[in-house]
Every structure is written in C-alpha cells, then in structure tokens.
Chains A and B, each alone.
Chain A
Amino acid sequence: MQLFSHERMWRSHELKSRYDAVIIGAGVHGLATAYYLGKDHGLRDVALLEKSYLGAGNSGRNTAIVRANYRTAEGVAFYDASLKLYEEMSSELGWNVLLNQCGHLTLAHTDSAINGLRVRAETNRFLGVDSRIIGPDEIHKLVPTLDLSRRPRYPILAALYHPPGGIIRHDAVVWGYARACDRMGIEIHPFTEAVGIRMDGQSVSGVVTNRGEISTRVVANCTAGWASKVCQMVRVPLPIVTYPLQACVTEPLKPFLDKVIVSATLHVYVNQTDRGELVIGAEIDPYQSYSMKSTLPTLEQMATYTLELFPQLHGVKVLRQWAGICDMTPDFAPIISGVESLKGFYLDVGWGTYGFKAGPIAGRCLASLIATGETPKLIAPFSLSRFRQDRLVGEKAAAAVSH
C-alpha cells in the first residue's frame, strides 16, 4: 500500500552527455512539459535542469489558486483546459495534489468593476465555464465572514462567482509530476544550473551547466523570473519586464473562509488552506527587480486591505512573508512557442502572476509542439511573433492582481 511505502519519489542521476531534449527549469511548467513529452509522445530521453531544489521557484511561491474565469476567449479556453487537467491530476498521478474547488469570488467595489466582471461572466458562460455575477446577499451566504456593510471605504457591490475555482497544494503538484517523470525514465537534475546554450548555426546544439556540458537538439526555456536571462544566452530578446510579487501567511485558524476572495480594487487576495492558515497575496511591487526580498510597506498594504474585507482578523498574526519574481508581458498573456530564428529552442515563459494555474496545459501543449512540430490551437494566440504583428491578447483586466 502506497501509504506505508517509502519508495523514493525521484532518483538522482549522473548528467549524461546527450539527451533528446533538455528542459531548463523544473517547476510545474518544466515538469508538465517533460511529463507530457513522456506520456503523450513517448519521448523519455529528457533531462530537466533545476538550478536549486525542486520547487524552489515560483512553483513553490505562488498562492496556489486555480481558476478559468479569464476575460478573452483565448484565455478562458486555455485556463479551462488547465483546470480540467488539475481535476484529473490526483487520480492520474496516484498522488493527491489536494485540489479544493471551493469556489472563487472576484469582488467589485465600483460600478465600472462590475462591468469588467460582466465581460468575463459573459465570455465564460459562452465557453461553458461556470461563472456569474452575484450580489451582496448571495455573497453573504457564500462568505458570511466578509464585511458587506457600508463600513469599508469601498463597499462591496457585487462579485464574479466562479464555483470551479479553488486552491491546490502547489508543492504536491511539483512532487507528483516529478515522481511520474522519474517513473517514465525522465531525469530530474536539481542543483544543475544552465549557464550557457550552444548554437550550431540556426539551431541549438547543447546546454552548458555547472555540472558539465550536454548536447541536445531541443532546449525548452521553462523558467519564471529569469526567462529573459536564459534567452539572453541565445540572444533572443523578450518583451518582458520582471517584478517581485509578495505574499504572506498567518497562523492556523479554525475554518473561517472556504472561498478564494480576490479584490482588484484593494490589490489583495485571501484564501484559507486546509491546514487553517490564511494565505494573503499582494499586487506586484511598484518597481522592477530580481530581488526576492520582502518589504514592510507591502506587508502593511496586505494587512490593511485584508482588514477592509475581514475586520475581525485584526488580532490574527502573520507568520511568514515571502516574494517571488514575475515576468510580465505587455498584454499579460504568456509566450508559448518556438522561436523563428533558432530551431529547437522553445519558450514557455512570460507567466506573470498566473503561471501556476496554467502549468499542466502549457506543458501538454508545449510537449505536443516539440514532439510534432505542430502548434496546438490552444496556444496559437500566445506566440512570440504576436508582439511584432500587434496581435496582443488583452488579458490585463482579468490577469492583473486577479488570482
């Protein structure tokens, strides 16, 4: 019985001198890509390179919210497919990723915000995603602890209710994928940093790491926070700017909140984990940086806005504060595609503050692109070339501070 087994989740390996494919970044995106390369396409001679421990990057720093209630048709279809993969993940991997589809509420405090939410509700409904606008009475029934009075500076007028949205155990997703990859013979290499990428004319030919050199014909950049740095190695400029994003967690409480609450007006989002901690996230920092240091003003902001929503939490204490760094694109949509000028080089980057939700489907689509050379329809809108063709996706309204 698995419960009493202590089999290793993933084994360590010597680095081989060549692989069919090398994936840089073993977070949820890199792992999903490797997993589907192996599962859907039988490509198993794959190395995943992780510069730190497994899950050290944004896969272990996000607030673990999943949802599909985006604004554009492209976004909704894509994130919905990802949510479906998350729904199947526990049974597929034989590993419980603790998905809790408790429901997700995006609050509106102004009438213009209501209109923005209505655009999303309408698009969602047409694409079969359960999402609708509800008023204060229904909000109160769903979240009785929320302050719906006139006391807050911006009283809550309505919300976009998205029942299938929820939370998941982010680390468990990483570990579950890692185990599944390992069982297929895919190699996971923690503490292996890519420091250079070799090119042979117009194609990639290898990766230089701190543990030695690998030759390969396929390199996928699945990093977050350092995506543009990795692309610098092959002189592929990305329209990406990088900002820190902070979050904090409180001491465990008895059940208080069983919905995900997001307020774009107040730049804050709150949920309660199965362990009882409240997880609170902020808006991205106001300045660009690669620093993962926490700041006090941001913590003050998170506390201030949380208390606007839940004033009774004033005595609840913050245990930890941390930061991740986010690669923002101009249209708040990701870049998943090959690169015209460099054969064998693939991108799954620009994930801003919404990468975790998309991990499974991004990995599956990228794997398909790598294995077949055909771009799956779901990721066709997200190519790097869209920035030259003025075909932006326009997900800003639903992606910015909307977790």
Chain B
Amino acid sequence: MAHPVDPSPPGHPGGASEGVCPITIFFDGKPISAQPGDTVASALYRCGVRIFSRSFKYHRPRGLLCGSGHCPNCLMTVDGIPNVRTCITRVHDGQKVRHQNATPSLENDWLSVSGFFSWLMPVGFYYKTFTHPLVWRGVEPLIRKVAGLGEVSPEPAADAGSESHPEHGSTGAGPAYAHIFWHTEVAVVGGGPAGLLAALQAARSGGRVVLIDDQPELGGHLRFQGKGRHSGEWVMPDGQDLSGLSGPDLARKMAEQVVKEPRIRVLQDSTCFGLYEGRLLGVLQKLAGGQRTANGSPSAGHSQALERLIYLRTQRLVVATGAYEALPLFENNDLPGVMLRSAAQRLAHLHGVQPGKRAVIVSEQADGGPVAADLKVAGVEIEAVIPRRELVSALGRKHIKGIRTTRGDLACDLLVLEGDRVPDAGLIAQAGGSLRWEEGQRAFLPGEMPPFVTVVGEAAGIQPNPEAPLPGPCSKKTFVCVCEDVTVKDLCDAVQEGFDHIQTLKRYSTVTMGPCQGRMCQLSSIAVCARQTGRAMEQTGTTTSRPPTLPISLGSLAGPRHHPVRRTPLHPCHEALGCTWMDMGDWKRPHHYPAPAAEPGASGHGATPAHTSTSHSHHLPTFVEAEYRAVRERVGIIDVSTLGRLDVRGKDAPKLLDKVYTNRLSDMKLGRVRHAALCDEAGILLDDGTVSRLAEDHYFITTSTGNIEFVQQWLEWWMAGAGWCVHVTNVTGGLAAVNVAGPKARETLAGLTGTSLETAAFPYMNCRQADVGGVPCLMLRIGFVGETGWELHFPAEYGEYLWDLVMKEGQPFGIGAFGVETQRLLRLEKKHVIVGVDTDATSNPMDADMAWVAKLDKEDFIGKAAILRFQARLATGQSERLVGFVMEDDSVPLDGSAVVHGGRPAGRVTSCRFSPSIGRGIGLAWIPSALAHAGRHFSIHVNGQLGQARVTFQPFYDPEGKRLRM
C-alpha cells in the first residue's frame, strides 16, 4: 500500500491538504475515497491498486504504464461505459468503476493460465490450426468468449445514451451528446508550450485562433515537470521573458497570456481526433459539469451535454501535438511497476501520489534527469539510474520486484523508463504530409507539408532517442504490442513466414491494431521488421494513420438523436380518428382507420402489415372492408398531401416537359390533366404522376411520395445548359391535398363550391381552379381508385378546416376516411401500376405494360432510343412482362411470392390482394413473356403449394372506366 504524499508537490490542483469535498468512487463495488483533481487511475493507485487490467491474449497482469491516455493498460468500465482510459478520466462522486477481462478478479485471473500455453499460440496460430470445419465450429465460440475487453449491456433499453423519441417527446434528461459547427482562421492543436506560443503569435498577427488541448489545464508537459526539457529561453511575443521558471510556473504564465488574448478561443479537455477533407477538424470536447449516472446516461435532470463534437473548419492548421513515449523493448517490459516517465511524473506532480518506494530509473542522463528530481520530491528512493542498453529484464510475477541488468540484479518496486519519444504525427499524415525517418533523432518526423499546415514543437523534432540494441528474435516475453500481446518473437516469426512488409506484418500479427492504435508499438515494430528484413527504417516505412487519432465514442459521433418525421397538414385529423400510422419515407401516413364501432375489438387487429404469415386472409380485414365499401358505394376521402408537387412555369416549360416526360405534354389544352411517366436514358421507369396545364406557360405536376426531390433535381439537371426559360418550384410543403372519390363524391363537393362538377362542365382528366368552402383549390378530376372523384390541392394552412368541412358535408352521404391499405386495394382493382412497388430498377414501360405512357412518335425524349429497343424486343419474347392475374383458387399470395415455371422461380408477385368485386385474389406479377398471354395460366408459390393464376390485361374493376366518367 502506497501512502499519500503530504504536502502535495506544487502543481497539484486542489491538493490533498485542501480536501474539503470528499469524493467516493466504487471500484468493483468497494468504496474508495478520491480527491478533487484525481483521475480514476490516480485514485486507485493511491489506495494500492497496482494491476489495472489483464492483457488481451495471455491475461498477463498490467499496471499503469503511460499515465497519459495512450496505452491500453488502464482500460476499465466506468459508469457502464466499456474500455475507458481511467488515467485520463476524472473522478466524480458515486462513480462506478469495474475491472474488465479478468475472472474473478484482476489479482487472480483464471485465464492467466493461457500464459503457460503461449508456446501453443505462436503468431497466427489460429490460421494454422482448426482447419477442419467441424473442429473450427467447436473452437470458434470459445475463442469469441475469451476475446474482447469490456462489456456492454445486452439490454437495448437499459441505456439509450440520449434522450428523446420523435413521437413521445423528451424523457427530460436532455441529450448526452451535442454537435456544433465552427469556422476559424487558425486552429492550433496542442496546448503545450509550442502550441501556446503558436497561438499567441497567430493572434498577434491578427488571426482568429482556436486552441485545442486535451488536458484540463494548459501547459502540456510543463505542468508535471519541475525542471527539464523546457529549460532554455522563453520570450513571449509581447517581449515578456519567462526564462528560468519551473515547469508549472511557466505553464501558468503562458496560459494566463493565452486566456487574456481575446482573439484566442481555448478548448480545454478537447481532443482533435481527425483532419478530414476541406480542412475539417473533428474535435471532441468533454464538457465541465457533465456527469453520468451509473449506466452512463446523463444524470437525472441534467440538461447539459457531456460531450460535444465540434466540426471545425480552419484556414490554417498548426500541429503542436508534441510527442508521446513508447514502451522500450526488454524482457517482461509489461510487468506492473514498469512505468513510463510521463506516468510517474503525473502521479507525483498532478495527483500527489507516490508512484513507488524504491525506483530504478532508466535514463541516458547519469543523474536520471528531471524525473529523478521529481521522484525524490515525492519521497521515492532512487535505487539506481542505468542507461537503456544495460537493462535486460524486469523481474517479478504480478508486480516488479527488481530488474536484471548487464551488471547484475537490482531490487526495486518501480522502474521508471525514459521511453522513446515519438512525435504525435497522426494529423500530419491525415493532412497529406509525409513522414521521413531522421536517423539523428531516431524518429519519424514530418517531411513535406501541405501549405496550410505548420508543425511546431516536439511534433516537428525531438531530442535524439537513445540507440539501444533490439532484443534477439527469440524474446518470447518482450512485448512489442501490449494491446494484442505481440512479442518480438511473434514479429520475427511472421517476417520469416513472408509477412515482411510492414502492412502485411501488421495484419498478420495484429501489431498496431489494438486500442492504443500503434502508439506503444509502431516504432518498435518497424524497427524489428527493418532488422529482420535487412531494410532501412526509411524503406520499411510506417502503416497508414487513419482517423480517429484517438478512439471516439459512437454516441459523440452520432450526436443528439435526430430523425425527422414529416407530418401532413391533416395529421391531427387522422390522429382524432384514431388511425394506425405507417412510415412512408420520412412521412407518417394513415395505414387504416379503426373499423366501425359495431365490431368492437376489431380495431388494432393487423395493426401492422402481416410480415411473417404465409398468405393473406381470404377475407378482407374489417377495417379495409369498411373503408372499401365507403369508396365503392358512397364516398371516401384520403389524405394525399404526401404526393410531390411541382409548379413549372416559363415560356419553355412545354419544351422541358416534352423532353423529360415520355408523354407529349406540349399539346395539352388548358385545363387538361395527363398521366405521365419519367424514364432515364436507359429507358428505366423512374417515376410517374399527373401533369395539369394551368396556362400556356404554367404546369402543375404531381410525383409519387418520396420521389419529389429526385424529380425536381432531374428536371433541373435537364434544364441546365439548355438556356430555357423555365422555373421549377417544389410546392409540396405548401399544399395539403385530399382525394374525394366515390359515387357520392359529386354531391359531397357540390355543396361546397360554385364550380359545376357535372361531367359536361368538368370532364374526367380535367382540372379547374375553384373555391371550395372558401378555400382556393386546384381540383383535378382523376381516378386512381376507379371512382368519380376529385383530387383537391390547397394551401396547407386550410388543411384541417377543409378536411372537417368535407367530412361534415359528406356525412349525409356516408363519407368515410380511407387509408393507404384500402387505396392499394382500390387501385389494384383498376390494375394501376405503382412505379417503385410494381416496378424496380430494371423495369421499362414496355415490359411493364405501360406502353401508352411513351409517345414514340415524339421527336425525342429521355430514354426514347432505349424504349424503342425494348419495344422491338417485345416481339422476341425474351423478357419478363408485368401482367395482371386472377387466382383460380381461394388462395391470396403475399406480395413478393415467387412465380414458378418449369420448377424454377421465374418471376414474382409485386402486389396481391383479395378483391371484393371479383371474390378472388387479384394482383400484378412479373412473368416470362412466353406466359404473358391473356387467359394463360401460371403458378404462384403459396404456402409450400402451387396456386394457379390466370393472366389478364384488363382492369379487374370497371374495365371500361365508365365509373370514372360518370
């Protein structure tokens, strides 16, 4: 048990003596007291925890190594979040910390026996064994079970991370994650001395600066170094000379200047995790005051985000990310008690924790350099200082007990290493900068940079790393990669097997692929690869640096949950009727309304479409039955506000529409409506709808739901460059629309408008601008459902008013609202094809039996050449055709059922329903054209049996279309 150091060394924020606000955290259920400013790891270390994790493959004990969030050794589950780097996670009262990947405890992990079998698990062992599929099937689940680190709750609902539901509103907790978008002239990444200076200089020359630092306080390594690398001249841009100060004092003075400077915006606790195209930086900011509850969600009533993702666009980028330390190679280099200098200094300086009692320092400076002084202040006895080349191995089983040197053994409980300094170059590589090996400094340093990037400080150049001999190829317990338990021997074996390129070596041995993303192991793996292949470091090269440079949570990346819902202006009317909703693209549409009250309990039945049953019921669901009867016998009303609507104006509008639509639209008389379809250049059907001519130079177009954005872009695409005078305006959001149809539709509407609805005055396929109940409407007399009816398009703000008015006016006639399901049945009885439902991305109008939409005598239109070829092909019988069919038996195949011919699937049913007017199942299906003759029979797979269907090209209901024209 290590004892807290008192009084705390300078630089320790809110030191032990100030402990006014006691904090208790729970480690595997045990309460542990912590101090303000503590990290989880420092609190645990203070109370004697030495093993922080168990390794990935051999379950070796691992202790604090880097202390700065770079290595995988301190990963634990904190407040339900797995794989948290506890050495950079600050404590809060009530925090729940659990160990990972060890059973039953970190001290005694049963799976550590795997270490004894390491000889059975050489590099790539799983590729070379279990090659029999049956053996592998047995072994694979076991491997799966042992692999992995942290655990996540299996319960999706246990913790949603954030907040609200689009339908049900906020749960009150507020989002845990936020996103924000900023622009700046200069972004400086890194708040160490180099970054602070760069920010001050940039601000002095007039730029707006954002300074991004991942620490809670500015100053970088100065904060935890009494004396050291910063000794030298420090003259600020304003002339102030700060030379000779101690690290923490210098950090404070510089930070004061930066904070005072109004042109610098400082982002503390913020990690710049990637540089993306367009000079976009991804920055993740941890927000002060954010606290998680035990399951990781924001605490109750807490409305502020915990983490904020900043999309930062910058004109210039200063990389001042400094350097981190990598783990040197020697036997047992992963033993707890082996610590990089940065960890020991942080423990001592920032947290007032004594890292050990008796330390050996590995340093090239005879006196052990600054770290020796720091340790002495913290009360650590320095056993010896040895240079790297003399270190042979660490001794001990669960914790270091001593070391073996070339000159004999030394006892110690702490080994502090000056690791190789590695410039933090992730952003440099992402910026497109090159890295070159600098033999003098023994490091990869930035080479050529894009003009907008400047690299300063240790990221640009370091004090030379010592030249130390690499351990021999048989070092089985010398770990290159502590994330994945890859040893020097593993790498040497892999190279011998032919994985001698750094990229294949990485993929085969998994070195650099763990949570540390190569920070601990990249340099040494390159060195081993270079030695084994006899190539130079430069030639061996590095692996690709990919974003994010630090692991970023899915929650932060996703941000607040935002999945917009589109509701029609009539939404409240449907809600009032108690409809069952369905999603259609972004829209909510009524699937159906409750069946009449006469049959209680019927509503809600079949609320969502049958997905797993194998066929439709032979009888219609009661709700469809009632809605169907209303339309066919009386009058029905449906909300069609989700249709796309385009207003097309200009003297060249007829030219544009003739070019893009397959129909001829330039010769339409005013007040006429035509059905029209769009094809691409390959003759593939893209969309269909109606086109109404309101004036010589003014058309009103409807598109199918969900296709409006595409059709608008399509029209604009073909307009571009033609020099035509046309304006295409998407008016979808501004207009509500209903279709009122049925034998009593005319009577219903007649009471609301002065415009004559008699066929003589207002024939089928005509349109009129009319006043309906005081609302200006565009009325289209069309017949999608097969009855006399009018589609009314009118300003959205009158939506509910007009719906209620029509319902009231229609009441004496028995009006009923109908939903999408009934509309599908009604249109199917008319054999109307829905583009995108009955057609797919390879369907053309000829094969889809829609030849009438293409006016092949028109001079030219998009897709004409292809459609002509499709027409010619029809005669050859080499294609599939879309046909109507009637079932010969009682079955009603489900949509998507297979058409079977010659024992093989030869087509598919696209739509099928029970038709009340025919008394049989009817539908549309793609079948081989050899079968596509009226009256011909074919088979459909229904419930494991073959049902017989008969081809028809006629509508199933009112084939002459008399009812539409009445």
Residues of chain A at the chain B interface (Cβ within 8 Å): 2-11, 53-56, 60, 73, 87-88, 90-91, 93-100, 108-112, 114-119, 121-123, 126-127, 133-135, 138, 144-154, 157-158, 169, 171-172, 175-176, 190, 250-256, 258, 274-276, 291, 293-296, 299-300, 302-304, 306-308, 310-322, 330-332, 390-394, 396-397
Minimum CB distance partner of B176 in chain A:
A314
Minimum CB distance partner of A133 in chain B:
B612
Candidate in A54, A150, A151, A251 with the most chain B CB atoms within 10 angstroms: A251
CA distance A390 to B873 in the complex (A): 9
Can you report 20 residue pairs joining A to B where beta carbons are below 8 Å apart?
Answer: A110-B583, A111-B582, A114-B609, A115-B910, A116-B896, A118-B896, A121-B896, A122-B908, A148-B156, A157-B609, A171-B507, A253-B152, A276-B147, A295-B276, A302-B557, A307-B561, A312-B156, A316-B81, A316-B554, A319-B551
Q: Which residue in B127, B148, B274, B565 is a CB contact (below 8 Å) of A172? A: B127
The answer to whether A274 touches B147, judged by C-beta atoms less than 8 angstroms apart, is yes
Does B897 belong to the interface (CB within 8 Å)? yes
Does B257 belong to the interface (CB within 8 Å)? no
Known A118-B895, A258-B144, A397-B841: A91·B133 in contact at CB below 8 Å: yes
Residues of chain B at the chain A interface (Cβ within 8 Å): 56, 80-84, 101, 120, 122, 125-133, 136, 140, 143-145, 147-162, 165-167, 176-177, 179, 274, 276-277, 280, 282, 296, 309, 311, 493, 496-499, 501, 503-504, 507-508, 510, 514-515, 517, 546-548, 551-555, 557-559, 561, 563, 565, 582-584, 608-609, 611-612, 682, 837, 840-842, 866, 869-870, 873, 878, 894-898, 900, 904-905, 908, 910, 941
Task: Enumerate chain A residues within 8 angstroms of B81, measured Cβ to Cβ.
Answer: 315-316
CA distance A152 to B842 in the complex (A): 32
Known A274-B143, A307-B558: A175·B157 in contact at CB below 8 Å: no
Candidate in B150, B159, B496 with the most chain A CB atoms within 10 angstroms: B150
The answer to whether B557 touches A300, judged by C-beta atoms less than 8 angstroms apart, is yes
Q: Which residue in B83, B582, B894 is a CB contact (below 8 Å) of A251? A: B83
The answer to whether A311 touches B159, judged by C-beta atoms less than 8 angstroms apart, is yes
The answer to whether A8 touches B498, judged by C-beta atoms less than 8 angstroms apart, is yes
Task: Enumerate chain B residues within 8 angstroms of A54, measured Cβ to Cβ.
Answer: 501, 504
Minimum CB distance partner of A149 in chain B:
B157
Known A90-B131, A296-B276: A396·B496 in contact at CB below 8 Å: no
CA distance A91 to B493 in the complex (A): 23
Task: Enumerate chain A residues within 8 angstroms of B558, measured Cβ to Cβ.
Answer: 300, 303-304, 306-307, 314
**Chain B nearest Cβ from A276, distance in angstroms:** 3
The answer to whether B497 touches A8, judged by C-beta atoms less than 8 angstroms apart, is yes
CA distance A95 to B501 in the complex (A): 20
Task: Enumerate chain B residues within 8 angstroms of A254, measured Cβ to Cβ.
Answer: 101, 145, 148-152
**Chain A nearest Cβ from B942, distance in angstroms:** 10
Task: Enumerate chain A residues within 8 angstroms of B282, measured Cβ to Cβ.
Answer: 296
Task: Enumerate chain B residues within 8 angstroms of A171, measured Cβ to Cβ.
Answer: 507-508
CA distance A302 to B144 in the complex (A): 24
The answer to whether B841 touches A144, judged by C-beta atoms less than 8 angstroms apart, is no
**Chain B nearest Cβ from A15, distance in angstroms:** 18
The answer to whether B896 touches A117, judged by C-beta atoms less than 8 angstroms apart, is yes
Task: Enumerate chain A residues within 8 angstroms of B131, measured Cβ to Cβ.
Answer: 90-91, 93-96
Minimum CB distance partner of A2 in chain B:
B128
**Chain B nearest Cβ from A384, distance in angstroms:** 16
CA distance A24 to B503 in the complex (A): 20
CA distance A134 to B276 in the complex (A): 41
The answer to whether A390 touches B504, judged by C-beta atoms less than 8 angstroms apart, is no
CA distance A97 to B496 in the complex (A): 20
The answer to whether A151 touches B896, judged by C-beta atoms less than 8 angstroms apart, is no
**Chain B nearest Cβ from A370, distance in angstroms:** 27
The answer to whether B122 touches A4, judged by C-beta atoms less than 8 angstroms apart, is yes
The answer to whether B496 touches A6, judged by C-beta atoms less than 8 angstroms apart, is yes
Known A2-B128, A6-B493, A133-B611: A312·B276 in contact at CB below 8 Å: no
Known A73-B904, A303-B554, A397-B840: A314·B898 in contact at CB below 8 Å: no
The answer to whether A149 touches B156, judged by C-beta atoms less than 8 angstroms apart, is yes
The answer to whether A100 touches B554, judged by C-beta atoms less than 8 angstroms apart, is no
The answer to whether B150 touches A396, judged by C-beta atoms less than 8 angstroms apart, is no
The answer to whether B153 touches A312, judged by C-beta atoms less than 8 angstroms apart, is yes
Task: Enumerate chain A residues within 8 angstroms of B150, measured Cβ to Cβ.
Answer: 251, 253-254
Minimum CB distance partner of A109 in chain B:
B583
Task: Enumerate chain B residues within 8 angstroms of A253, measured Cβ to Cβ.
Answer: 82-83, 148-152
Known A147-B156, A310-B156: A95·B145 in contact at CB below 8 Å: no
The answer to whether A256 touches B152, judged by C-beta atoms less than 8 angstroms apart, is yes
Q: Which residue in B274, B611, B910 is a CB contact (below 8 Å) of A157? A: B611
